[in-house]
Structure 1
Amino acid sequence: MTPREAVRPVLDAFRIDPSPRGQGRTRHNLGVLAAAAADDLDVARLAEAHLDALTILGELDGTPAPAGSCWGVWAAESSTDRVRAKPVAGGWRLTGRKPFCSGAAGPCTHALATAHADDGRRLFALDLGAEGVAVRPQEWRALGMRGSAAATVDLDDVPAEPVGGPEAYLERPGFWHGAVAVAAAWFGGAVGVAAPLRRAGVDGRLDAHGRAHLGAVDADLAAARAVLREAAGALDGPAAESVPAARRRALRVRAVVESAVESALQRTGRALGPLPMVRDAGHAQRVADLEVYVRQSHAERDLATLGELVDAEGELL
């Protein structure tokens, strides 16, 4: 099955509507992502980007996505890789290199990409069938997330449509709402990685130490599930959210979910030993995928940022 064939049912399962909030939409979509990630993190990564792209197009009044299209969101940059945006008669043109473009070598037909213009960093919609788009998949050498069809993309005077104004991509609550969706995929990945440990417990194949590992993983996953459900409830509520509040919420959720991911990875291995990693190719791939995917977190840097946002008084039940 090709990446395009694998991801299409997940994209079709999302509840996409013109309204950005309410009616259980967020919880539904996070659940779709988590379920997909428990089975295949590559598919979940592609689906999460598509959901993010369609949400961004709605929030920033972009042109609606064509029916049947699959979108990526390419915002990564490096010290040597940067895309420049130049206004021309009738539109804009992009030139430069984009690293870590998930879906570029597979299912994506379109993408939202950041680029630097004279008035600041902007977001642009790209048709990947346009002349001047060159996909270079050979630069992705990791074993983890190989099925996400990630690649480096070179753009040579490619026509692009602006989505929102300068810095609009980052300066909105929806940026942080998208960060919660990433955490939902991490959570599903942790559930998938911990599945052999859970099966061993149900089958009575764990000693006391193994049961302790299983209990700790179960508690950590329950905490992650709880914060994701709380966040979904807040995002589905009627009240709009400020950027600082959305940022703090996302950083909290991601910290709790990342902790559950580390627990699932480490404790499953410690309880079961090397056997699942060497005898179960699916499990070994899930571990490799999750270890790469969760590194979208900025680890202690995110915790330090969260520490700066902490209020003087903590919340009570």
Structure 2
Amino acid sequence: MTSPARSPAHPQGWTTLEAVRALAADWDRTNGDEVFPAERVAALHEVGALAGFVDVSSPERTDALVDVLRAIGGADLSLGRVFEGHVNAAQLVSAYGDDAQRRTLESDLEAGRVYGVWNTEPQPGLSIRQDGDGRWRLQGRKSFATGAGHLDRILVTARDASGGKQLVLVRIAGETARADNSGWQVRGMRGTCSGLFDFSDMPIGPEGMIGAPDVYETEPRFSAGAWRFTAVQLGAVEALVRHLRDHLVATGKGDDAIQRARFAACLTETRSAGLWVRRAAHLAEAQATEAIPFVLMTRGIVEEAGLKTMEAAARSVGTASFFAASRIDRITRDLGLYLRQPVPDQARDRAAAAWLEEDCWGDDRWW
């Protein structure tokens, strides 16, 4: 990814979280363009966010990442999706890579290179093939590939000769001709550029093989890592509540008891979701055994808060909330798509089944 204009200066001594919050507050004043947010990604690099969350094993670092994801999600959900994927990829390389791969990761992050993770694929899927000279090449494509044509390094899952699912780190900077975003015709999250990417005949070497086959789906990291996108989504719901509040105050509608009741419901749903997200984050980053059902349940809690708040905003603001220049309209369009994460009903069912199998109610670690 090329490096666009530098980010606005921020006071010396600010933490990464403080700088991100300042950037997010500025970005939240406008809708921005519905293209890949390259300048905003570069701004996150300028304030240390791209390199700052490889290790979040301490409670303090976990809290910081929760709040950075919330802030970014509240300003730009497409940017939040890109940043969350970058953090995921960096943590996977750090967790499963060897010393040399971790050193390469560190230098990449210092240089502002942007990572991502692509797992979804059209049939027959992505595979690793060996040519006649004994060299390895990738064959196949990835779909719903966030940042296709815009990222620098990508972690992909590819089937090896034995059928195992191998994590492969591929340098894709400059490979724009392989990206096809023409099919990404959606109402929201357009800036993620989540199209197709063709890896056919791309050479790879041993330095790109991250970990052993099938390590990608190691639990609880694989399922519990979903907490990160719930934090991004939560930030958007919180921003929606703020914009709804501003509308009610500016128009005097807050004097109406019905409007106040509707707003109160949004507040309670969103605040409750925030408690779930933060606890889910701490359990997941501690690799706790109970992290998976907690994170899976959190997905549904955040989804409900988002759906109820979007409906409340539409009812309270009315027609004005559907104009393209409205922040409420932009957040609603983006959030409506982002909440469609895979198998939401199955996620809640798995969580409920886990709670039924084990009595957790007397354990204060849940809260």
Cα distance in structure 1, aligned partners of 2:358 and 2:87: 36
5+ residue gaps in structure 1? none
Mapped pair 1:313 → 2:359:
yes
Higher mean C-alpha displacement, 222-231 vs 89-98: 89-98
Kindly provide the amino acid, as one letter, of the partner of residue 304 in structure 1.
D
Mapped pair 1:84 → 2:130:
no
Higher mean C-alpha displacement, 2-11 vs 93-102: 2-11
Structure 1 equivalent of residue 83 of structure 2? 47
Deviation at 1:131, TM superposition (A): 6.9
Mapped pair 1:30 → 2:78:
no
Mapped pair 1:6 → 2:49:
no
Distance 1:9 1:148, change over 3 A: same
Output one character per residue of 1:181-238: Cα deviation in whole Å (capped at 9) or x when no partner: 010011011122333311134443232222111101100111111112222333565x
Cα distance in structure 2, aligned partners of 1:214 and 1:96: 49
Alignment TM-score, normalising by the size of structure 2: 0.77
Deviation at 1:13, TM superposition (A): 2.4
Structure 2 equivalent of residue 228 of structure 1? 277
Structure with more contact order per residue of length (Cα contacts < 8 Å, sep ≥ 6): 1
Task: Pick the aligned partner of 1:136 from 164, 180, 185.
Answer: 180
Alignment TM-score, normalising by the size of structure 1: 0.89
Kindly provide the amino acid, as one letter, of the partner of residue 8 in structure 1.
A
Secondary structure in structure 2 of the residue aligned to 1:138: coil
Secondary structure in structure 2 of the residue aligned to 1:139: coil
Distance 1:212 1:59, change over 3 A: same
Structure 2 equivalent of residue 169 of structure 1? 216
Higher mean C-alpha displacement, 263-272 vs 170-179: 170-179
Cα distance in structure 2, aligned partners of 1:130 and 1:164: 26
Q: Say if 1:133 and 1:155, in contact at 8 Å, map to a contact too.
A: no
Mapped pair 1:195 → 2:242:
yes
Aligned residue pair count: 311
Cα distance in structure 1, aligned partners of 2:167 and 2:246: 45
Deviation at 1:279, TM superposition (A): 6.2
Cα distance in structure 1, aligned partners of 2:284 and 2:240: 28
Structure 2 equivalent of residue 147 of structure 1? 191
Task: Pick the aligned partner of 2:301 from 248, 256, 270.
Answer: 256
Distance 1:93 1:85, change over 3 A: same
Structure 2 equivalent of residue 265 of structure 1? 310
Secondary structure in structure 2 of the residue aligned to 1:100: strand
Task: Pick the aligned partner of 2:341 from 290, 296, 299.
Answer: 296
Distance 1:16 1:175, change over 3 A: farther
Deviation at 1:56, TM superposition (A): 0.5
Cα distance in structure 1, aligned partners of 2:301 and 2:231: 11
Kindly provide the amino acid, as one letter, of the partner of residue 217 in structure 2.
L
Q: Say if 1:77 and 1:99, in contact at 8 Å, map to a contact too.
A: yes
Cα distance in structure 2, aligned partners of 1:209 and 1:150: 40
Cα distance in structure 2, aligned partners of 1:26 and 1:306: 23
Higher mean C-alpha displacement, 128-137 vs 115-124: 128-137
Deviation at 1:48, TM superposition (A): 0.5
Structure 2 equivalent of residue 113 of structure 1? 156
Distance 1:49 1:298, change over 3 A: same
Output one character per residue of 1:77-105: Cα deviation in whole Å (capped at 9) or x when no partner: 24x35111225677632110111111113
Q: Say if 2:224 and 2:296, in contact at 8 Å, map to a contact too.
A: no
5+ residue gaps in structure 2? 1-32
Cα distance in structure 1, aligned partners of 2:116 and 2:271: 30
Cα distance in structure 2, aligned partners of 1:92 and 1:20: 34
Cα distance in structure 2, aligned partners of 1:90 and 1:26: 43
Output one character per residue of 1:16-57: Cα deviation in whole Å (capped at 9) or x when no partner: 366451151121112111101101111111100101110111
Mapped pair 1:61 → 2:97:
yes
